[in-house]
Chain A
């Protein structure tokens, strides 16, 4: 099966500054893939190349089997994109915004109503977008990207500015899309979201991939186990098993009969991510 996304030796250069340095990625159809990294790591530049807004300085990028530089017109009808900042016609209503894009995709108006309903925006559909909250604008972006049922969905921080409920709604939607075979590539700064949603992640630092794999694997590789000990006195302590002093303390508590209960904690992906970046910096 042709990979949905192939990035081979991608370089993006702004003058003397190399924003993306030899990036390689391959994402399979139906995969939920997260692109992570601190600010300036090269995520946005990579996404801009993927949507055809920026030409690569070197390397090759193909989406759905087509080269983004040479055959963007073939990719566009099958690609959905949610930018990090909202870009709506503020003076038009949410419904008018979606209808416009639906018509560009030769879709009936009913499809825009369907997407508004799916994102729970139908009550505000006829209000001008300038009256929307940041979260509503973000949901409208997601609705717009889903209008034409794209095979590949690229999202730049899809849940930023969303309340807990709406963020959950979007996450469920992305999970369902993945299950239906849509390839989802997204960026996020919410590590809990990434751990819960992404099948695989790539961590970028200074334009290079510094870690690639499933979130659980990366956590296991880069973050040690920790335990929560409840003492007979009721006090609770968390001890990392990778720390020799903590291990000695744990042994002492059990030998002395002070420990009443022991719970193994799940590996923390956020901590693993921080450690990956720390190692990359060093």
Chain B
């Protein structure tokens, strides 16, 4: 490994990128967009995007039973598209919720009996789950009234109308406890209910501003890693320049390392610049820097695989397009199937989520998310390296 040779190869990459007017113009456009979004604000987008309003309530349950059947059969038509039941009895690991949803978990309490009703909502936005909780408590109360002594039912039913969700969760729990005392003094038919509310872990306060920041940064990473790198590398192959360089004393390791290193640094620099403009507070966190590096690494890794497989510049562009199309197709079709875990490993699914976490300053660092994304990125880097070696030898 020779530093002067590496430096010459790095300079070559820099000069070539600088000569690509279209690429430079696009990167400048991204910077201008970030400045505009930052200076002018994104107030007008709030109503359109509604990222903080939950559109879906996922009711997770561990067991079937008459209570659940009652809930399932008493979803009002206007809420039917917004309430989804999901059995998680055989689920292990993290329970994930789609973006823009809230979670309502009916967890059986094996130790103390009864259930824990655990509501999951976006951080700082507990009211996002209000529509779901209102329905849930009303229908649960209605179901339990049906279980009470016949003589009590009329009086208990009157309380249904008074049930309000304005109060906090403890009030709901308290109301249920009092109800239980009256309806089922022996405590055998109406179960004890504990009420918990938590913000999602590894979740974002993804307002329009964060979404725009994430979009700009992601576009920069994908453009530089998945489009620009393969395009320039394959142009060298097509014009015989790669052969000329390989005939020099530069080893294939030096050539690959210089290309990879240059595009990684370029990608990270542009991503940091865009983040600095659109979400400066986020850069105060170490987590954000490592997340940006992981996304840059992954996109350059994917680009290296395309660059090694394609032989012409047109092939590289088509390869990038096909890759992004296939990724989108899989992400759209795999959820809900037995192959869903594969979608979770997709870089295209992990990168936007991680960037959203990284650029939302109010969110706690999700190191596990970052670790998994970094692992996926490293797999792509390894694949790119292997493909490059194979291409150099073949």
Known contacts A83-B240, A87-B241: does B248 contact A101 (CB below 8 Å)? yes
Kindly state the separation between the CA atoms of A112 and B90 in the bound complex, as whole angstroms: 70
Kindly state the separation between the CA atoms of A189 and B5 in the bound complex, as whole angstroms: 37
B49 within 8 Å of A (CB atoms)? no
Query: What 1/0 flags go to A50-93 for Cβ under 8 Å of B?
Result: 01110000000000000000000100110101010101111110
Q: Are A100 and B16 in contact (CB under 8 A)?
A: no
Q: In the complex, what residue of chain A is closest to B241 when comparing beta carbons?
A: A87
A1 within 8 Å of B (CB atoms)? no
Query: What 1/0 flags go to B223-256 for Cβ under 8 Å of A?
Result: 0000000000000000111011111111100000
Query: What 1/0 flags go to B9-33 for Cβ under 8 Å of A?
Result: 1011001100100000000000000
A44 within 8 Å of B (CB atoms)? no
Kindly state the separation between the CA atoms of A269 and B200 in the bound complex, as whole angstroms: 86
Kindly state the separation between the CA atoms of A89 and B241 in the bound complex, as whole angstroms: 8
Known contacts A85-B240, A106-B4: does B12 contact A100 (CB below 8 Å)? yes
Known contacts A51-B247, A77-B249, A100-B11: does B240 contact A91 (CB below 8 Å)? no
In the A-B complex, list the 9 residue pairs whose CB atoms are closest, starting with the nearest: A87-B240, A103-B8, A91-B19, A104-B248, A77-B249, A104-B250, A87-B241, A87-B239, A100-B12
Kindly state the separation between the CA atoms of A73 and B255 in the bound complex, as whole angstroms: 14
Considering only CB atoms and an 8 Å cut-off, how many residues of chain A contact the other chain?
A: 24
In the complex, what residues of A have CB within 8 A of residue B246's CB? 52
A96 within 8 Å of B (CB atoms)? yes
A105 within 8 Å of B (CB atoms)? yes
In A91-123, the 8 Å CB interface with B consists of 91-92, 96, 100-101, 103-106
Q: Are A79 and B247 in contact (CB under 8 A)?
A: yes
B2 within 8 Å of A (CB atoms)? yes
Residue from A51, A87, A91 having most chain B Cβ neighbours under 10 A: A87
Residue from A51, A92, A96, A104 having most chain B Cβ neighbours under 10 A: A104
- Pairs across A and B, CB under 8 Å, 27 listed: A52-B246, A76-B249, A77-B248, A77-B249, A79-B247, A81-B247, A83-B244, A87-B239, A87-B241, A87-B243, A88-B241, A89-B241, A90-B239, A91-B15, A91-B16, A91-B19, A92-B15, A96-B15, A100-B8, A100-B12, A101-B244, A103-B8, A104-B8, A104-B9, A104-B248, A106-B2, A106-B249
In the complex, what residues of B have CB within 8 A of residue A52's CB? 246-247
Q: Are A104 and B5 in contact (CB under 8 A)?
A: yes
In the complex, what residues of B have CB within 8 A of residue A53's CB? 243
Kindly state the separation between the CA atoms of A273 and B40 in the bound complex, as whole angstroms: 77
Known contacts A83-B240, A87-B239: does B4 contact A103 (CB below 8 Å)? yes
Q: Please give the distance in Å from B215's CB to the nearest CB on chain A.
A: 31
Residue from B2, B7, B11, B240 having most chain A Cβ neighbours under 10 A: B240
Known contacts A53-B243, A87-B239, A100-B12: does B19 contact A105 (CB below 8 Å)? no
- The residue that A104 contacts in the complex, of B239, B240, B243, B249, with Cβ under 8 A, is B249
Q: Please give the distance in Å from A76's CB to the nearest CB on chain B.
A: 6
In the complex, what residues of B have CB within 8 A of residue A100's CB? 8, 11-12
Q: In the complex, what residue of chain A is closest to B15 when comparing beta carbons?
A: A92
Kindly state the separation between the CA atoms of A155 and B248 in the bound complex, as whole angstroms: 16
Q: Are A89 and B5 in contact (CB under 8 A)?
A: no
Q: Are A106 and B248 in contact (CB under 8 A)?
A: no
- The residue that B248 contacts in the complex, of A90, A96, A105, with Cβ under 8 A, is A105
Kindly state the separation between the CA atoms of A92 and B239 in the bound complex, as whole angstroms: 14
* Given pairs A76-B248, A91-B16, 4 additional interface contacts (CB within 8 A): A52-B247, A81-B244, A89-B12, A91-B15
- The residue that B247 contacts in the complex, of A76, A85, A91, A103, with Cβ under 8 A, is A76
Kindly state the separation between the CA atoms of A209 and B367 in the bound complex, as whole angstroms: 67
Kindly state the separation between the CA atoms of A96 and B12 in the bound complex, as whole angstroms: 9
Kindly state the separation between the CA atoms of A243 and B217 in the bound complex, as whole angstroms: 82
Q: In the complex, what residue of chain A is closest to B9 when comparing beta carbons?
A: A104
In B241-290, the 8 Å CB interface with A consists of 241, 243-251
Kindly state the separation between the CA atoms of A113 and B358 in the bound complex, as whole angstroms: 50
Kindly state the separation between the CA atoms of A104 and B9 in the bound complex, as whole angstroms: 8
Q: In the complex, what residue of chain A is closest to B243 when comparing beta carbons?
A: A53
Q: Are A87 and B248 in contact (CB under 8 A)?
A: no
Q: Are B5 and A103 in contact (CB under 8 A)?
A: yes
Residue from B8, B9, B16, B248 having most chain A Cβ neighbours under 10 A: B248
In the complex, what residues of B have CB within 8 A of residue A73's CB? 249, 251
In the complex, what residues of A have CB within 8 A of residue B15's CB? 89, 91-92, 96
Q: In the complex, what residue of chain A is closest to B242 when comparing beta carbons?
A: A87
Kindly state the separation between the CA atoms of A122 and B7 in the bound complex, as whole angstroms: 25
Q: Are B5 and A87 in contact (CB under 8 A)?
A: no
Known contacts A96-B15, A100-B11, A100-B12: does B249 contact A105 (CB below 8 Å)? yes
In the complex, what residues of B have CB within 8 A of residue A87's CB? 239-241, 243-244
Known contacts A104-B248, A105-B249, A106-B249: does B2 contact A89 (CB below 8 Å)? no
Kindly state the separation between the CA atoms of A83 and B245 in the bound complex, as whole angstroms: 13
Q: Please give the distance in Å from B44's CB to the nearest CB on chain A.
A: 41
Kindly state the separation between the CA atoms of A77 and B19 in the bound complex, as whole angstroms: 29
In the complex, what residues of A have CB within 8 A of residue B8's CB? 100, 103-104
Query: What 1/0 flags go to A128-145 for Cβ under 8 Å of B?
Result: 000000000000000010
Q: In the complex, what residue of chain A is closest to B244 when comparing beta carbons?
A: A87
Q: Please give the distance in Å from A111's CB to the nearest CB on chain B.
A: 14
